[in-house]
Amino acid sequence: MASLRPKRLERLSSRLSQKAKYLSSMSELANYTGLHSLRHFYASWLINRKEDGGLGLPAKMVQERLGHASIAMTMDVYGNFFPRTDDGTELARAADILLS
């Protein structure tokens, strides 16, 4: 495999940055631009459910792939991305059992 020369690496970085800016400009809710937005896109892809086009990985695996020092950091930043599993049916069933 050919090594990346500084000029070639600069061009690649510039193209990736342009693509990231374009992608983030397509969303009015984008909080990040440039290469950092690709990191958040990658994180959301790791987290999203398989039926939604993601990988559906557990939090610990996402932490390892993103290189976070602790699971707390991953959950602080991306906790709201994880699908909720408590849709209320378990609570309703428990309430029925307790009250019957």
* Residues 84, 76 contacting (CB under 8 angstroms): no
Q: What is the mean pLDDT of the chain?
A: 80
23-27, 63-67, 81-85, 95-99: which has the minimum mean pLDDT? Answer: 23-27
Q: Is residue 10 part of a domain?
A: no
Q: Which structural domain, as residue segments, surrounds residue 72?
A: 16-99
78: closest CA among 93, 98, 96, 63?
63
**pLDDT band with cut points at 50, 70 and 90 for residue 76:** very high
Check residues 78 and 11 and name the one with the higher pLDDT.
78
Q: Is residue 2 part of a domain?
A: no
Looking at residue 1, what is its pLDDT?
46
| Number of structural domains in the chain | 1
Q: Can you give the C-alpha Rg of the chain in angstroms? A: 20
pTM over 0.75: no
What percent of the chain has a predicted confidence (pLDDT) above 90? 31
